[in-house]
Structure formats: structure tokens, C-alpha cells
A and B are shown apart, each in its own frame.
Chain A
Amino acid sequence: MTPLLEPDFLRRLEKLEIAARRVRRGVRRGERVSRRRGSSVEFADHRPYGAGDDLRFLDWNVLVRLDRLMVKLFHDEEDLAVHLVVDGSASMEYGEPSKRVYGLRVAAAVGYVALAGQCRVRPAILRAPDRLESPGYLRGLGSAERLLGFLGGAPSGGANALRGGLRRLAAEVRPKGVVILVSDLMDRDGVDAALASFGRNPGDLYAIQVLDPFELDPALDGEFRLVDSEDGSRADVSATPEVVRAYRARLDAYLAAVDLSCRRRGIRRMLAPTSLPFEKLVLEVLRARGLLR
């Protein structure tokens, strides 16, 4: 099996980090400075000593000078939860390279960056109807092999899982963190309902919409029976220039609707055609859009 990421590229990823807009409360200490005062080395404030406080944090200097029992307070360093959610529906298995492979590589790259930054990384594959395939949280570069193994062996197929899968994910994302959704965001009923699951989620959400160039600019001419890869439905199409133009208009409208839904929910959407070189996407586009730095 072809590895998702090359070693040289992994080394370049180690220089990046996840640029979360908001530091989220984690369950373990991480490399991120939290507004919550904790036990890191970065001093924050004093408060009067109370029974039960750890005497290790007693400020002896204050006690000597002011004869008052004061406890030092520090900024707590939280670990960041990064959820890598890859659409596993059949529609992702299209193109060369397929959208699935392209999306998995994106997820792997972001996940690797997160692991390198001591974030908790939870890769997941959306499966219909509302199932999440996931190895659980991973932490540290020691888990990179497991991360890449999971993503590299993830098959695709089945019906659209966006709505059910995202609802399930929204329910499971505790504590909140960074959610990176890699999908073509193609849903016959629209993605608004699916994205609504994140409606009140305070975390950072990114949606990387992977599309094949054929979807963006279909070069069809003649009589076709177009078979939907997810539900097997068929549509007889006379692919005349007029119909192709109508398709493009419909696609533009759909993408605009997706973009609006994302904006309304604070989701940063990025369009990633598979014709865009993967390295350029990760090293330039994702950095430019603020996901990595």
C-alpha cells in the first residue's frame, strides 16, 4: 500500500502546528496555554490560601514579607483535541487520484501536525447511516504510525453519511476542540441540515471540500446514463452544451449554499480540487486559511 505521506513531507510537517483560534479545555496538560489557571510554570496571580490547597504552590516569599498565606496561581497548559473527520461515502471514491485518497492525505497531514504539537487527535471515518469509525484519541508522534495506518487502510463505500455522521460527531465532541471535516459535502438534501449539528459548537470547525475536476467542469458530450455512486439512482442525460451549462449553474448555486451554511456556523470552508497538488494545499492553502501555522 502506498504510504499516505512521504517521510520528507513528514519532516516538513513537524515545523507546523495547529493554529486553533480558541484554546479549548483539555483533559491533559498540553502545549497550549489556557486561560484557565492551572499548574503550568507560567505565573498568573495570587489568591489567599485555603484549606486543602497544595502547599507546593504556597508563595513563601509573600509569607515571609507580608506574613500572609498566598497561593500562586499559574496558567494551565491544556492539550488540544483535534477531530479529523473524513467522509467515507462512495462518492469520495471518484477520480484519479480519488477524492478519498486525497482527503485522507489531507487528514493525515493535519493529524500528523497535531500529534507533533502534543494534541489529542481523533481520526474518524463517517459511515452511513450515523456511524463513526475511529481508533479513539491518539497523542504524540508515537501514535503517528497508528494514525497513518488507520487512515491508509480506511475503505470507502456506502451511502451518504454526512447528516447522521456529523450529528453523532457533534454529540461526541467533548470537550470541544478543532474539528476538521474532509468531505465533498455533496448531499442530495443539502448540507445545511448536516452542518446544523455543529450549530452551537464553540470549537474551531474547518470543512475541506474535496471535489474532482470533473465535478467542477464536466467534459461530457453525448448521451449518458449517469449512475449515482451512493444510491445507484440513474439519470439519462443528453449532455448538450446547454445541459452542461445548467449543471455548472446548479453546482455554483450548491457551492454557494454550502458556503453560506458554513459561514452561518462559523465553519471555515476550503475548496480542494484534487487537481490542486496536495503539498501545495497543506503547506500553502491550509496555512493561508489559518488552520496551520
Chain B
Amino acid sequence: MSFLTPGFLWLFALAGPVVLLYFFRQKQQSRVVPVNFLWVQAIQDTRTAAVLRRFLKSLLLLLQLLFLALLVLSLGGATASLWARGSTRLVVAVLDRSASMGTADGPGGATRLEAAKEALRGAVDGLRDGDRMMLLGVDERAEVLVPFTGDRDRLRRAVDAAEVRDLGTDLTDAAVLIRSQGAAAAGREVEVLVLSDGAFPDPGGLEGVRVSYVPFGEAKDNAGITDLRVVRGATGDASLLVSAEAFGAAPLKRTLSLRLGGDGRVLDARSAEAPPGAQAVLFFPLDAVPPGPLEVRLEGEDAFPADDRAWLVHRPEPPRRYAVFGRRSRWLKDLSVFRPSLQGSPEPAADAAALAAAGPLDLLVCNGAVPDPMPHVRAAIFIGCVPPDGPVKAAGTVEFPPVIDWSRTHPVTRHCEFSDLLVVEALVLEGVPPDGVLVDSPRGPLLAFAETEDRQALYIPFELDRSNLPLRLAFPLLLPNALDHFFAARRPGDEEEVLRTGQAVERTLAPGESLRVTPPKGPRATVEAGADGRAVFRDTFRAGLYGLEGPKGPGWAAASLLRRAESAIAPEPRVEAGGVAHEAKPEAVKANVPLRDPLLLLATAILLIEWLLWTKKR
């Protein structure tokens, strides 16, 4: 038996006064009477009853003490252990602290994590001497909060300190830990208590492990923001795409607002409506929105507020420079018509020196010739030529190569038609990665895309004048697709606009420089750039805006939950672990049964019995 509020146990000291009062009350009064022989005879007449009375007197005292004991035990929160069987146990308590465990659907607005912690405290209290428990905090990773121990205080402190993280749920790491601990248990069976709402895939690796799934939460409707991204059109105009989804049986009918991240001022608001289980996708134009942190809010309240807000840092596309090297082509016009941020001239540079003198470039178009040396550029388009330092090499030429097929899913060839492409002569390309073949022919790719760590390149292995490509509809689509692919997607070194919680914040600094990070909640942190100049902050487990201070000045990063699995807050009735379905087993964690009410009831009954006996005695 253990006690939830052992502070009340000092009331047992009242037993002393009760006994004293009893005997004090029992003290006889001495009284002189004329003669007492009639009384003696009367007592003898009632001798049998007197024996009963004496017994009742003692019984009344016992009942009083029993009543006091029951009352004190009840006030002390006595609980009975249900684990008092078998040998000592090894228990791994897996406490889900993912975002969905922050759903406030418990009694009095308690979150699922609070309910799980309460249950876990009971399990800790129910540990017997010799039992050992390990506590794992699990979100998308697993953290050993307390290794195997029988120290209940330490376990309780760790349970108390557990907090919800705006992350998903993945028990893969936990399974690895459990498996390793099971191996270390030297033949003793490890019991796994999973305290969760079940929103996680089968972690695997738990075959043969005794898993008890203790679910928390109720099936409630929810609506949340599940996707957030900045999309830029072919002309460089930026919009914010927001997906809001209705989970459960209720339709979505709320307002999405776009606010400034600093003061929360509303910039735009739109109605988001969707039937149950469907998404509402809304676009917020960002052209008129000032750069900086923004917040998207799904107005209104529900049981799971973590997915009602999302953040981003609006970063307008910076000006980019391009240049043309090699032969002049009448088909190569000013690229700024495709992407206004591109600045440069379609006139080819005279030579490599002139190209180098033009300064750093973001895009180089090589038409028939490659400068030597090849400047460091982020993106390049090679037309009828191949750079000597790239992964793709030219191995001769081929005349009139027929088109076999082309990729319809690659971003560069999206919406393009190449069935009627005619090429007089083309370079035979080698070294093209399989997923980089955009248009294929029997002798090699007629259009290829290759990406290395420092450069993206589009290969057109034939002269434009010796094909009908410029005359096809695909040509005006191919170039803007390529430019979008080059510059719309985030590249290493770019500062991100939208992050999911758990993704790292990366900044490029000089080696040795540091970046100070102020999370939405919690202490500041400082990260130093490594030898490669990258400063990485990984503890983005809280959704919100992260303040950054570095050598380049202040900045922002934004992390949002954006996880459908977490927004679907209905608890799972069963979970799969190691390929085995485990039904919900709430009683598995009920190591202790609270005895407060039964004890109070028993104490009341004792009081009633005592009263009846006392009345009979009188």
C-alpha cells in the first residue's frame, strides 16, 4: 500500500487522544449510597448483559480506533498495488510527449500528457522493492529520461518535468533502446508501457516484447494547418500556400488570418471551409507583404491549439545575376522576362577573363563553349557543350537521334512535349544520373539534369540552331521551368522560409563565428560555426519564431508543426509494434487502485455500527 498524500498520516497520532479520552470517559464516579446490596444483586441479575457490555465497551474503542485508522488512510490517499505478484519486474515506460499529447480533452481541460503523467506517477508508486523502471520520453526521437532504477523519487521528478514538444511521434529510436535494454536484462522479461494516443507507425524491432498500450484522449473533432509554403510563379510573384484540414466528423468553417509575426497585426484574412476529412487550400499574395516573420492563424479554438498557428519568415527573392558565354544565339533572349529577379545580358562575354571581371554569377549559360576556368556558379545551362569538371562527359556525337521518351514529372520538363523533337546532331552524354535523364534517345540523353553539391546544371547536348527545339512549344516552358527549379527551391546556404519543428536552422558563417538563438520558449542557446562555416541549431522542438543574432545582424527562423498525423487527434484503439497489434489496455498502468472512496465508505459503516452498538449499550 502506498499513499498519495502521506502528509495526512500524522493524524494517526490522534489514536492516543482517542484512547485517553475513552478511558477518561470510562472513569467511574464514586457515589455513596445508603446500601448497595440491591445494586449488587441487580448487577448479578444482569451479569450476562454485563459481559456483553464489557465486550461492547472494548468493541466500541476498537471501532473508534478502526474508524480513525480508516479515515486517516483515506485522507492519506491510500492506494493498493495491483502488481504484488510474481518476481521483480523491469518496466520501460514510454511516455509520448509529441504534439498531439498536448490536446486538452481531459477532465478540467487537462492535457493528455498530464493524464499520462498522472497515470505514470501511479505506476511509479506501485513499484515494489526490487522492481526497476526506465523512463523514455518519445517524440520523433527517444530520450532516456531516467535509466533503469528503483528510485521512485527520481522517476517522479522526471515524470513531473516531462513537457509536450511540437513534434510528431516515432518509436523507432525507442524500439532500438528497448531492444538493447532487453538484451542487457540477461533473461529477465522487459515490460513496455506505452503511454500515448497512438499516433505513430509501427516502430518495428519489438517482436516478442510484452507491450501494453495505455491510451489517452478522446475522439474529438479538430481542424489544423497541415501545410505552409511559399510558392513563386514563373514571373517571380510569391504567394503563401496554406492548407487547413478538418479532422473528425465536423466540417471546417473557420477563418485563416495572415499576421505580422511581431505584433500580430492582421494583414489578410480568408475564410477556410472544407467538408469533414478534406482540405481547404488558400493562397495569400506576398508581394505587398513586408519581409520578416509572419504568422498564419486558424482563428477560433479547439482542443488541439498547437496546429492552429504556423509561422514563416518572408524572404523576397534576392536579385540574381546571369551571363552568357560562347556563341551568340538568336534564341537566347533576356532571361529576366522569365524571372524578373534575374539580371544580366544575353550578349555573350568575350572571354573567360571578361566573364570573371563581371563578378560572381548565379547562372551561366554556355552556348557551344565552356570558359576556362569554369567560374563558380550555382546554376548552369550547357547548350551543345559539356564542362570538363562536371560529372557528365561528352563521348562523341550522334546524328538524328530519335526521342524514345521523356520525363513528365521532373520539374524542368513539366508540361513539355518532346515527341516531335528533331535534332540534327547531338553530343553523346555519359555520366548522367538515371534520374537526370529528361529526354532519352538510343544513344544517350537529349536533355539531362545533373546536380552536384555546389552546382545544378541543365544539359542540352545540341546546338539550338541544329534542332527544332526553339520552334516547339516546349522551349518557352523549358527555360522558365529550369529557372524555377534553379532558384525557387531552397539550396544549401539559402535561408529557409518555412521549417517544420525538428528541422535544423542552418546559417552560413565564417568558421568560429557563433549564432545566438532565442527559442519561442526556454533559454537562449549559442551555436558556433564549424570548419565548413555552418552553424546548425537543431532544438527546434517548439513551434514559433526563433530569434537569431549573428555577425550579419539579427534575423529570424520559423518552425511550425505541420503534421497531419498529429492533427488527427483521435486516439488509436490499438497500436502496432513489431507487427503485432496491441489493443488498448488502460488497466496496465493502474498499478495502484485508489482506496479513498472504499475506505471512506467503510469508515462510515464503522461509524454507523458503533452508533448502533452504543445505542444498544444504553
Query: Could you tell me which residues of chain B, from 9 to 67, have a CB within 8 Å of some CB in chain A?
Result: 26-43, 45-46, 49-50, 53
Which residues of chain B are near A250, meaning CB under 8 Å?
Answer: 38, 41-42, 45
A226 CB contact (under 8 Å) in B31, B45, B46: B31
Which residues of chain B are near A244, meaning CB under 8 Å?
Answer: 42
Query: Could you tell me which residues of chain A, from 225 to 241, have a CB within 8 Å of some CB in chain B?
Result: 225-230, 233-238, 240-241
Q: A237-B43, A240-B617 are in contact. Are A230 and B35 (CB under 8 A)?
A: yes
**Contacting pair B29 A99 (CB below 8 A):** no
**Contacting pair B46 A212 (CB below 8 A):** no
CB-based nearest B residue for A234: B36
A137 at the interface (CB under 8 A from B): no
A286 at the interface (CB under 8 A from B): no
Which residues of chain A are near B45, meaning CB under 8 Å?
Answer: 246, 249-250
B330 at the interface (CB under 8 A from A): no
A193 at the interface (CB under 8 A from B): no
Query: Could you tell me which residues of chain B, from 324 to 366, have a CB within 8 Å of some CB in chain A?
Result: none
Compute the total of residue contacts between A and B using a CB distance below 8 Å. Answer: 94
| Cα distance A188–B40 in the bound complex, in angstroms | 11
| Cα distance A38–B49 in the bound complex, in angstroms | 68
Which residues of chain A are near B618, meaning CB under 8 Å?
Answer: 240-241
B39 CB contact (under 8 Å) in A91, A237, A241, A242: A237
**Contacting pair A188 B35 (CB below 8 A):** yes
CB-based nearest A residue for B29: A224
A222 at the interface (CB under 8 A from B): yes
CB-based nearest B residue for A251: B38
| Nearest CB of chain B from residue A236's CB, rounded to whole Å | 6
Q: A243-B43, A250-B41, A250-B45 are in contact. Are A235 and B29 (CB under 8 A)?
A: no
| Cα distance A225–B41 in the bound complex, in angstroms | 15
A16 at the interface (CB under 8 A from B): no
| Nearest CB of chain B from residue A83's CB, rounded to whole Å | 24
**Contacting pair A227 B36 (CB below 8 A):** yes
Query: Could you tell me which residues of chain A, from 89 to 139, have a CB within 8 Å of some CB in chain B?
Result: 90-92, 94, 99
| Cα distance A226–B31 in the bound complex, in angstroms | 5
Query: Could you tell me which residues of chain A, from 157 to 200, have a CB within 8 Å of some CB in chain B?
Result: 184, 186, 188
**Contacting pair B33 A227 (CB below 8 A):** yes
| Nearest CB of chain A from residue B243's CB, rounded to whole Å | 84
| Nearest CB of chain A from residue B305's CB, rounded to whole Å | 68
**Contacting pair B36 A226 (CB below 8 A):** yes
Chain A CB count within 10 A is highest, among B30, B34, B42, B43, for B34
Which residues of chain B are near A91, meaning CB under 8 Å?
Answer: 34-35
A247 at the interface (CB under 8 A from B): yes
| Cα distance A254–B40 in the bound complex, in angstroms | 13
| Cα distance A159–B42 in the bound complex, in angstroms | 22
**Contacting pair B46 A233 (CB below 8 A):** no
Chain A CB count within 10 A is highest, among B26, B31, B32, B33, for B33
**Contacting pair A233 B36 (CB below 8 A):** yes
Which residues of chain B are near A237, meaning CB under 8 Å?
Answer: 39, 42-43
| Cα distance A212–B33 in the bound complex, in angstroms | 10
| Cα distance A249–B27 in the bound complex, in angstroms | 27
Query: Could you tell me which residues of chain A, from 247 to 264, have a CB within 8 Å of some CB in chain B?
Result: 247, 249-251, 254
| Nearest CB of chain B from residue A55's CB, rounded to whole Å | 63
A229 CB contact (under 8 Å) in B28, B33, B38: B33
Q: Contact size class for B?
A: 20 to 34
B46 CB contact (under 8 Å) in A90, A227, A242: A242
A235 CB contact (under 8 Å) in B26, B39, B46, B617: B39
A54 at the interface (CB under 8 A from B): no
A45 at the interface (CB under 8 A from B): no
Which residues of chain A are near B33, meaning CB under 8 Å?
Answer: 94, 214-215, 226-229
Q: Contact size class for A?
A: 35 or more
Which residues of chain A are near B36, meaning CB under 8 Å?
Answer: 226-228, 233-235
CB-based nearest B residue for A189: B37
**Contacting pair B30 A235 (CB below 8 A):** no
A186 CB contact (under 8 Å) in B29, B31, B35, B42: B35
A247 CB contact (under 8 Å) in B27, B38, B49: B38
| Cα distance A253–B43 in the bound complex, in angstroms | 15
**Contacting pair A223 B42 (CB below 8 A):** no
**Contacting pair B43 A225 (CB below 8 A):** no
| Cα distance A254–B50 in the bound complex, in angstroms | 23
| Nearest CB of chain B from residue A150's CB, rounded to whole Å | 24
**Contacting pair B39 A223 (CB below 8 A):** no
A228 CB contact (under 8 Å) in B37, B49, B617: B37
Contact digits for B233-249, partner A, Cβ 8 Å, 1 yes 0 no: 00000000000000000
Which residues of chain B are near A226, meaning CB under 8 Å?
Answer: 31-33, 36, 39
Q: A188-B37, A240-B618, A241-B618 are in contact. Are A229 and B42 (CB under 8 A)?
A: no
Q: A242-B49, A249-B45, A250-B42 are in contact. Are A228 and B35 (CB under 8 A)?
A: yes
Q: A240-B53, A243-B46 are in contact. Are A227 and B35 (CB under 8 A)?
A: no
CB-based nearest A residue for B30: A225
Which residues of chain B are near A243, meaning CB under 8 Å?
Answer: 39, 42-43, 46, 49-50
B50 CB contact (under 8 Å) in A188, A215, A238: A238
B30 CB contact (under 8 Å) in A94, A186, A227, A238: A227
Q: A186-B35, A229-B35, A230-B35 are in contact. Are A224 and B30 (CB under 8 A)?
A: yes
**Contacting pair A227 B31 (CB below 8 A):** yes
A94 CB contact (under 8 Å) in B27, B34, B46: B34
| Cα distance A237–B43 in the bound complex, in angstroms | 7
CB-based nearest A residue for B40: A235
B28 CB contact (under 8 Å) in A92, A188, A233, A236: A236
**Contacting pair A99 B27 (CB below 8 A):** no
CB-based nearest A residue for B32: A227
Which residues of chain A are near B31, meaning CB under 8 Å?
Answer: 224-227
Which residues of chain A are near B46, meaning CB under 8 Å?
Answer: 240, 242-243, 246
| Cα distance A251–B34 in the bound complex, in angstroms | 13
**Contacting pair A225 B42 (CB below 8 A):** no
| Nearest CB of chain B from residue A176's CB, rounded to whole Å | 31
| Nearest CB of chain A from residue B161's CB, rounded to whole Å | 60
| Cα distance A94–B36 in the bound complex, in angstroms | 13
Query: Could you tell me which residues of chain B, from 149 to 198, have a CB within 8 Å of some CB in chain A?
Result: none
Q: A224-B28, A238-B53, A240-B618 are in contact. Are A184 and B37 (CB under 8 A)?
A: no
CB-based nearest B residue for A244: B42
| Nearest CB of chain B from residue A3's CB, rounded to whole Å | 25
Contact digits for A194-226, partner B, Cβ 8 Å, 1 yes 0 no: 000000000000000000101100000011111
| Cα distance A91–B33 in the bound complex, in angstroms | 8
| Cα distance A236–B36 in the bound complex, in angstroms | 10
Which residues of chain B are near A214, meaning CB under 8 Å?
Answer: 33
**Contacting pair A229 B34 (CB below 8 A):** yes
Chain B CB count within 10 A is highest, among A214, A235, A241, A249, for A235
| Cα distance A241–B42 in the bound complex, in angstroms | 11
Which residues of chain B are near A229, meaning CB under 8 Å?
Answer: 32-35
Contact digits for B537-578, partner A, Cβ 8 Å, 1 yes 0 no: 000000000000000000000000000000000000000000
| Cα distance A92–B31 in the bound complex, in angstroms | 16
Which residues of chain A are near B29, meaning CB under 8 Å?
Answer: 222-225
| Nearest CB of chain B from residue A181's CB, rounded to whole Å | 17
| Cα distance A43–B567 in the bound complex, in angstroms | 141
| Nearest CB of chain B from residue A100's CB, rounded to whole Å | 11
| Nearest CB of chain B from residue A115's CB, rounded to whole Å | 31
| Cα distance A108–B174 in the bound complex, in angstroms | 111
The 3 A-B pairs with the shortest beta carbon distances in the complex, nearest first, are A91-B34, A246-B42, A247-B42
Binding site for A on B (CB under 8 A): 26-43, 45-46, 49-50, 53, 617-618
Q: 15 more A-B contacts (CB under 8 A) besides A226-B32, A236-B28, A237-B43?
A: A94-B33, A188-B37, A223-B29, A225-B30, A226-B31, A229-B33, A235-B39, A235-B40, A235-B43, A237-B39, A240-B618, A242-B49, A246-B41, A246-B46, A247-B38
Q: What are 23 A-B residue pairs whose CB atoms fall within 8 Å in the complex? A: A90-B34, A92-B34, A94-B33, A188-B35, A215-B34, A223-B26, A224-B31, A226-B32, A227-B36, A228-B35, A228-B36, A230-B34, A230-B35, A235-B36, A235-B40, A236-B28, A237-B42, A243-B43, A243-B46, A243-B49, A243-B50, A249-B42, A249-B45
